[in-house]
Amino acid sequence: MQLVIVESPAKAKTIEKYLGKDFKVLASYGHVRDLPPKDGSVRPDEDFAMDWELYRDKQKRFKEISDAAKDADRLVLATDPDREGEAISWHVQELLRKRKNLPAKVDRVTFNAITKSAVTEAMKSPRELDQPLIDAYLARRALDYLFGFTLSPVLWRKLPGAKSAGRVQSVALRLIVDREREIEAFRADEYWSVLAKLQHDGTAFDARLVRYKGEKLEKLSLGNEGAAMEAKAAVEAGRFTVEGVETKPLKRNPAPPFTTSTMQQEASRKLGFSASHTMRLAQSLYEAGAITYMRTDGVQMDMSAIMAARDAISERFSDDYRPEKPRFYSTKAKNAQEAHEAIRPTNFSRDKVGSGDEAKLYSLIFKRAMASQMAAAQLERTTVTLREATGQHELRANGQVVKFPGFFAVYQEGFDDKSDDDEDGLLPAMKDGDVPAKNEVEANQHFTQPPPRFSEASLVKRLEELGIGRPSTYASTIQTVRDRDYVRMEKSRFHAEESGRLLTAFLERFFPTYVAYDFTAGMEEELDVVSDGREEYKTLLAKFWKDFKPKTEEVMEKLPSEVTEVLDEYLSDYLFPPREDGKDARFCPLCEQEGREGGKLNLRGGRFGAFVACQNYPECKYTRRFAQPGADGEDPAEDGLMGTHPETGAEIHRKSGRFGPYVEMEVDEKKQRASIPKDLDDFDLEWAIKLLDLPRIVGAHPETGKEIEAAIGRYGPYLRHDGKYAKLQSTRDVFDTGMNAAVTMLAEAANRKGGSRGKAEPIKTLGEHPTSGGEIKVMPGRYGPYVTDGTVNATIPKDVKPEDIEAAQAIELIDARAAKGPAKKKGKKAPAKKKAPAKKTAAKKKPAAKKAAPAK
């Protein structure tokens, strides 16, 4: 028997059908082990030795793999064709070797698509594990661990309220904060434009004033209303004649097929999907055999796929749309590493797959891949120049028409920020000497705009341009920054939160090297050198640790007050902007109001984060949040009618209630309501309809035949089947989770509950307590999550997520709770008082009384 290991159960089931009865295919369900989240999992003093721990919820799964391996003649590691896939295969092999169940023959195979031909062909070309790629994974994992577990304790002690920092996430956060600073520092300039509304041969068109009084007009040339009105009068008084018609042919070539990052960008622009949502959908499409592997830097398609795309073009369009020769692309991405195919359909005869968001993403992938092999679009750009008699004033009209659509017939690439100067459209046929009729002249006021805040698409694009991180990790990096509440999403744009600004300022001031864009990009290049086998990964780790460790020790020795003082100075322009009355920006308003002298504001650190307070404390109790005075978020969306339900015709209203915003509609005199989840930043009528139509029926369970429901309850999104539940991670999962994933999650939830024999499993384990020696665990409780060392239980504050708790925080909470021990004992003295009077004499009386009773 030959044992094949893949990641997902859906993939395992499909591949087993392709391979036949001689093969047994099992799923690892992703990574099987990781570095334990506690100090000492990576030990630099022992040549960067690493301890690995089998995931608690994977023990049963891996036992199945281990038992099957005992009877196998050959082990085939068929995980995904990238660094993470190589790492999973390595972990499986090492665990089986440790358990002495590793078959004599071990092979590694990879395939880019889950189709019968791709899988069977891959089985004919096995290879060994790629050790340099595994070393690059080990280096990256160790770097991230050392960065997080060394720096985070510094944050907890020196920067109250900070949760964690990460090697890539901190740089991504800095990009968002830097953009926020640019916007705040921006000062808008006024400018005006003059536009003539003209008409010729019955066709209206616009012409812009581009030369005035013999001088070429720049963007800010007309800087006030007076100058604009003077220019407008000159255009109104002039008789403009056509003095030049220039027509230029333009050609636009199609974009290459999707890579991971371009897919995330386009899905964000065109479909409004987050990066993490896009990757979940793509994973599902890949496992269903609909598309090729979705984590890739490559832009090239396999030759057979190119020919299939060209054939599909010929079937749908005339021969003009199919170029004579195939198109070939090369990647321009910085640090492009894994030489896989681009993301494309596995079958170009299928233009539709799945339903809902999955179908939308597949359509995008299909159209992009097909368009990449289509003929160029042929356009014609016409520029008409008009001058008045003196030649001092000049108007210009631009027009653009599509002569042959080419790939435009299928797909056009989106852009994040379009220019307002582009003028597309058809101009009337004109020649020199023509005098178009002048209908109207407008003078329009404008203001220069600050750089736009990052959307997910533009942030991914910027990270890729800088060479920071890997495209396959952008989704998780962005999600981490959001989960830590360092940023918030408003109208699909990132806004830096106060905690994110403070953390970035701390890192810029005390760890400037490690949040520098060039340093992080350089680290990625070094990791690529490791993956190519040109450098030992431990050499890379040693270079990093040599400088990083002393720097963290240096900052750890500083007093919290010293850190706050430095940050107070560093952030003074943000915290204390100039006052309109010209007084000192640090003047305390309360001291000023009550006539106290010397009241000045400073940054302070507190248990729940930084804040601004008066130096006259405790006499003056003035405080304010860490933010600019009067800085508030945008107004919430207004309540009102959103639209009507497409099936019932009922009106859907958005309303605000005691527990937040919700939507409501009335059907058959019964009101249906649904709360608006916080994780939907793009909430619209479509989402309102989806929420009001819950629960959603996923389908019938393959074993019981009973329906599986997906819905949102009091404790968040969930799956329900036959009285059993499984938790979902986000609102989108309620609508995206398919049958395979639902069955798996319900089974895992049942296993966790059954395996614990009624006892709750820990959310997280954090190693031994330094004093008591007990194992520190983060536990779910009836009245909320808590941490315990087996003796003392300490409640986790409501503003802290249990998943974010680290060892140092847990120890601090447990020690603080233990210090309150005497207060707790007072409540237990009541039973003790009853025992106190019951001395020896009382003890003797009780047996005597018992003897008397039987005698009667």
Q: Which residues are catalytic?
A: 293
Q: Is 76 in contact with 7 (CB distance < 8 Å)?
A: no
Of residues 267, 334, 338, 322, the one with CA closest to residue 110: 338
What's the distance, Cα to Cα, between the start and end of the chain in Å?
80
CA distance 243 to 583: 59
- CA dihedral over 63, 67, 68, 70, signed as positive or negative: positive
Spatial separation of the C-alpha atoms in residues 203 and 396, rounded to whole Å? 16
DSSP state at residue 325: S
| Contact by Cβ (8 Å): 86, 77 | no
| Distance between CA atoms of residues 768 and 601, nearest Å | 42
Non-local (6+) Cβ contacts of 720 within 8 A are: 695, 708, 709, 710, 711
**If we measure between CA atoms, which residue out of 733, 652, 650, 662 comes closest to residue 698?**
733
Tokens of 718: 């969930």
Dihedral sign computed on CA atoms, order 742, 744, 746, 748: negative
Q: How far apart are CA 768 and CA 397, in angstroms?
A: 75
Q: Does residue 53 contact residue 36 with C-beta atoms inside 8 Å?
A: yes
Backbone angles phi, psi at 826, to 5 degrees: -60, -35
Long-range contacts of 733-736 (CB under 8 A, 24+ apart): 733/280, 734/694, 734/696, 734/710, 735/356, 735/357, 735/690, 735/696, 735/710, 736/277, 736/280, 736/281, 736/284, 736/356, 736/357, 736/358
Choose among 459, 453, 489: nearest CA to 168.
Answer: 459
Burial class from Cβ neighbours inside 10 Å (0-12, 13-18, 19+) for residue 806 reads buried
Residue 215 CA to chain centroid, in angstroms? 49
User: CB neighbours (10 Å) of residue 504?
Assistant: 24
In Å, what is the CA distance from 568 to each residue of 26, 558, 610, 679?
57, 15, 10, 33
The Cα 323–Cα 309 span in angstroms is: 12
Torsion of CA 149, 154, 157, 160, to 10 degrees: -90
